[in-house]
Amino acid sequence: MRPGFANAHNNLGIALASPSDLAGAVEQYRSALTSDPQYAFAHNHLGNALASQGDLSEAIAEYRRALQSHPNHADAH
């Protein structure tokens, strides 16, 4: 109903990551960030999914982006 609703994309990404659809989760986190580039939780979740896929350099970049938006984000630290 609201394709640009970042929180919905983030939550769908979380749901997809649980049963190991990491590619689907990454797609949803990226959609969330298209809608809200400063969404720290989506950056953090994207970092987790990328790390699970073995892409550690991109994961670290996403954690850093999360911290730029939300410096006290404990999970990103």
One DSSP character per residue, 20-58 reads: T-HHHHHHHHHHHHHH-TT-HHHHHHHHHHHHHTT-HHH
pTM: 0.84
Q: Under CATH, which architecture does the 6-69 domain have?
A: Alpha Horseshoe (1.25)
pLDDT averaged over the chain? 92
> Residue 3: is its pLDDT beyond 80?
no
Note the pLDDT tens digit of each residue in 46-72: 999 999 999 999 999 999 999 999 999
> Residue 9: is its pLDDT beyond 80?
yes
Percent of the chain exceeding pLDDT 70 equals: 99
